[in-house]
Amino acid sequence: MTGARFTRVVEDFTCGHCGAPVVGDGYTNHCPHCLWSRHVDQHPGDRAEECRGLMEPLAAGVRRDEWFLVHRCGRCGAVRRNRVAPGDDAAQVRSLLGRPIPDST
């Protein structure tokens, strides 16, 4: 990823899993209601991934005082970590705590 940089692009979207409208802030990469995501980035913010599969939230954890979610793409199997956002449904995040975190994150 030499030379790649994050590009902040504010995008609103409709969740592909629960159908909720999501107002993006330029860092939004998952639905704050159901926590599902879509596989759109090869590198954060680039929107260059052709897969576009839905990514299921598998687990949640904390590393260096930062909460994260782990998603797995239902189409290609890619596993990614994403930061928990301030507006995320806290009960949904808590429901993922204690689940095994897959390798390859």
- Residue 11 dihedral angles phi and psi, to the nearest 5°: -135, 130
pLDDT of 100 > 50? The answer is yes
Of 10, 38, 36, nearest to 25 by C-alpha is: 10
pLDDT of 18 > 60? The answer is yes
- Give the C-alpha separation, 17 to 9, whole Å: 22
pLDDT of 3 > 70? The answer is no
Of 48, 51, 46, 41, nearest to 82 by C-alpha is: 41
pLDDT of 2 > 60? The answer is no
pLDDT tier for residue 1 given thresholds of 50, 70 and 90: very low
Q: In this predicted model, what pLDDT tens digit does every residue of 19-39 receive, in sequence order?
A: 999 999 988 989 999 999 999
Give pLDDT, residue 104. 67
Give pLDDT, residue 78. 95
Of 40, 104, 30, nearest to 69 by C-alpha is: 30
Q: What angle do CA 40, 84, 29 make, to 5 degrees?
A: 20
pLDDT of 92 > 50? The answer is yes
**Average pLDDT estimate for 53-82:** 96
